[in-house]
Structure 1
Amino acid sequence: MSEQASNQRIYSRIAGTGSYLPEKVLTNDDLAKIVDTSDEWITSRTGIRQRHVAAEGETTGDLAYHAAVRAMEAAGVEASEIDLIVLGTTTPDIVFPSTACLLQHRLGANGCPAFDVNAACSGFVYALSVADKFIRTGSAKTVLVVGAETLTRMVDWSERTTCVLFGDGAGAVVLKADTETGILSTHLHADGGKKELLWNPVGVSTGFKENEKNAGVRIRMAGSEVFKYAVKALDAIVDETLEANSLDRHDLDWLIPHQANLRIIEATARRLDMPMERVIVTVDKHGNTSSGSVPLALDEAIRSGKVERGQLLLLEAFGGGFTWGSALLRY
């Protein structure tokens, strides 16, 4: 290798994307039959019209597998070529081994490192950032990054303010080391002091009291407080990301945000002075799929032909923890 070649900067470039949604679709009208709500109430407040629900026996790992296979096919990559698997999820199949390890075995990519990242709805962006660091340091050349969730397994179907929000799904990307521009930068933040505004209080070491109200694996959220904090945090990280790359907001071709609430997406778009025609929105069809949301939206945008090679994309997410993050990349 020549000295000039060895000094070239290495980027993480998206070689392929894939996604998977469970077959079952639960519409707002379906929900209105089991909880006190309506299509108008849900749509006006969230933008969500339907969500997908995993079938009985269908796991996060199942969704991740199908998304991963599609991403690998799109990238033209065999399992033997994968150097690392990073999987973002807050709904793992089992406590351990990690869902990434289970996925690795199922794909036949045995031998490479594989681990989960739990950053709630920011899980995929966190996982993407970790994978990017491995590639930039030369520790990996081909990385499978997945965001997958079965959030409907932890919703309280009697709580109308939360059960209407979440859905199941998975998305994946294959990153490859390349001298062509790919991921330009990633930015991650967290604030554990706000944990009780959006959390699931059940854990292995803490457990739960049987007589506690709504005891069990259930999402609890203070919606209005989360909304306010999310808008401010995403505003700040947008500025941070653009400043770090000496770019103007008008340089962006697409915003691909976490699909939690249409009003939060619209607020971020206004901050960027970006028309909604340049924002990828899937929340109406998918609901909030947590770690699955950004890669699901990315895959749909690419496969639909909206996102084209050479365009500049801003990915961002906000989730329980609180956690939030962004990734700026040239597709």
Structure 2
Amino acid sequence: MTTGTDLPDAAPGLPTEPGTGGAPVLLQQRGHEYSRILALGAARGEIVVPNEELVGPIDSSDEWIRQRTGIVTRKRAGADVGAIDLAETAAREAIQKAGITADQIGVVLVSTVTNTVATPSMASLLAERLGAAPAAAYDISAACAGYAYGIAQADSFVKSGVADHVLVVGAEKLSDIVDPTDRSISFLLGDGAGAAVVGPSDTPGIAPTIWGSDGSKWDAIRMTSTYAEWRAGGEQPTIRQEGQTVFRWAVWEMVKVAKQALEVAGVTADQLAAFVPHQANMRIIDEFAKQLGLPSSVVIGRDITDTGNTSAASIPLATHRLLEENPSLHGGLALQIGFGAGLVFGAQVVVLP
């Protein structure tokens, strides 16, 4: 065993620097100067659930849900379809459109709060299904901000040389964790997955990310009980939110984050081609656009109308739809922002694939 004054000679082949006492200097790897989103993929639950099917248990109406949320229908998956299945479908589309093969992916990131087990991660199972193993793989638990978190990490991985290509997936089966009698959130939620392949670029494709959290508001969106309480005979944990708290936070605080994201990207609102916020609620989306002063030329993602709120999947799903319906947006700039349970948030400006 050596002490601080008895260091071994530098390892063969490793350089040494003056002033280090002969200690080896660790080699470093450098990646690509820039990264971008190369392609997107999408998958939605196959069952269309209109408002009329949900209003009975919550003593509500189709009109009330439309006025409060903008949702007409939501997509939900059948009993035999899991979030991992949706993730696989979305990922395969993104990989194919990116023009790469699964074995070229160095990292698989899955943002989800609805994995059916604590371990193994959904990401590791997805990597195996796709043929991406032995890619590094892990889940991100950042709820509705998870996709933005994943894009931030993918950007850094490509630039640092950790991987040439990173798969980022937001995948949720929220119908598994809703209480149909809960008036706060049950009628909002849908099932789906959105995927992106991030890879090298000759020009900047992902601007710096503004992200963070506010754990003091952890109970604004929460599970109703713990697994320990459930095992002890309590009710199954389901998701619930404090609607007014979330609305005020999303509109007033998240607008500040969105403006910061524009600032660090060096662009102004009128230079955007699209704005894709988390699909939480149409009233939030509309107020967001108003507070940002978006000109009419900016196309706004409004996938919530017939997909519902799909948490981590909502931004890539909404972006995927925008590009299908508006091909002229390809290559334009989009501001995307996710925000949700935690409370957590993340925003960045990206070049649309």
Common fold by TM > 0.5: yes
Q: Is the 8 A contact 2:207 2:264 kept in 1?
A: no
| CA pair 110-136 structure 1, distance change in 2 beyond 3 A | same
Partner Cα separation in structure 1 for residue 186 and residue 327 of structure 2:
31
Q: Residue 34 of structure 1: CA displacement?
A: 4.3
Count of equivalent residues: 323
Q: Is the 8 A contact 2:31 2:164 kept in 1?
A: no
Q: Residue 207 of structure 1: CA displacement?
A: 4.1
Q: Secondary structure at the match of 1:183?
A: coil
Q: What CA deviation, in whole Å up to 9, does each residue of 1:118-148 have, x standing for no partner?
A: 0111111111111111112121111110000
The residue number in structure 2 matching 1:49 is: 72
Q: What CA deviation, in whole Å up to 9, does each residue of 1:196-254 have, x standing for no partner?
A: 111115445x5447565xx2221121101111011122111112112212322222221
Q: Is the 8 A contact 2:335 2:347 kept in 1?
A: yes
> Are residues 1:228 and 2:251 paired?
no
Alignment of 1:114-129 (within 5 A): 114-129=137-152
Partner Cα separation in structure 2 for residue 108 and residue 221 of structure 1:
38
Q: Residue 51 of structure 1: CA displacement?
A: 0.8
Partner Cα separation in structure 2 for residue 252 and residue 16 of structure 1:
19
Partner Cα separation in structure 1 for residue 82 and residue 345 of structure 2:
26
| CA pair 8-102 structure 1, distance change in 2 beyond 3 A | closer
The residue number in structure 2 matching 1:147 is: 170
| CA pair 144-56 structure 1, distance change in 2 beyond 3 A | same
The residue number in structure 1 matching 2:332 is: 311
> Are residues 1:218 and 2:204 paired?
no
Partner Cα separation in structure 2 for residue 175 and residue 151 of structure 1:
26
Partner Cα separation in structure 2 for residue 149 and residue 179 of structure 1:
33
| CA pair 108-209 structure 1, distance change in 2 beyond 3 A | closer
User: Relative to structure 2, which stretch is displaced further, 246-255 or 185-194?
Assistant: 246-255
The residue number in structure 1 matching 2:24 is: none
Note the aligned Cα RMSD (angstroms).
Answer: 1.9
Q: Name the larger-Rg structure.
A: 2
The residue number in structure 1 matching 2:294 is: 274
User: Relative to structure 2, which stretch is displaced further, 112-121 or 192-201?
Assistant: 192-201
Alignment of 1:188-227 (within 5 A): 188-203=211-226, 206-208=228-230, 210=232, 215-227=235-247
Q: Is the 8 A contact 1:257 1:280 kept in 2?
A: yes
Q: Aligned to 2:114, which of 91, 113, 119?
A: 91
Partner Cα separation in structure 2 for residue 306 and residue 178 of structure 1:
21
| CA pair 100-26 structure 1, distance change in 2 beyond 3 A | same
> Are residues 1:298 and 2:327 paired?
no
Q: Secondary structure at the match of 1:161?
A: coil
Partner Cα separation in structure 1 for residue 335 and residue 132 of structure 2:
30
User: Relative to structure 2, which stretch is displaced further, 289-298 or 35-44?
Assistant: 35-44
| CA pair 148-307 structure 1, distance change in 2 beyond 3 A | farther
Alignment of 1:99-118 (within 5 A): 99-118=122-141
Q: Which amino acid aligns with 1:69?
A: R
The residue number in structure 2 matching 1:70 is: 93
User: Relative to structure 2, which stretch is displaced further, 116-125 or 241-250?
Assistant: 241-250
| CA pair 185-31 structure 1, distance change in 2 beyond 3 A | same
| CA pair 272-306 structure 1, distance change in 2 beyond 3 A | farther
The residue number in structure 2 matching 1:323 is: 344
The residue number in structure 2 matching 1:244 is: 264
The residue number in structure 1 matching 2:187 is: 164
> What is the aligned-residue identity percentage?
36
| CA pair 261-89 structure 1, distance change in 2 beyond 3 A | same
The residue number in structure 2 matching 1:256 is: 276
Q: Is the 8 A contact 2:32 2:160 kept in 1?
A: no
Partner Cα separation in structure 2 for residue 93 and residue 8 of structure 1:
35
Q: What CA deviation, in whole Å up to 9, does each residue of 1:132-173 have, x standing for no partner?
A: 111121211111100000011111111133211101000001
Structure 2 unmatched ranges of 5 or more: 1-28
Q: Secondary structure at the match of 2:170?
A: strand
Q: Secondary structure at the match of 2:185?
A: helix
Q: Secondary structure at the match of 1:87?
A: strand
Partner Cα separation in structure 1 for residue 146 and residue 121 of structure 2:
14
Partner Cα separation in structure 1 for residue 136 and residue 64 of structure 2:
45
Q: Is the 8 A contact 1:312 1:328 kept in 2?
A: yes
User: Relative to structure 2, which stretch is displaced further, 164-173 or 86-95?
Assistant: 86-95
Structure 1 unmatched ranges of 5 or more: 1-5
Partner Cα separation in structure 2 for residue 271 and residue 35 of structure 1:
32
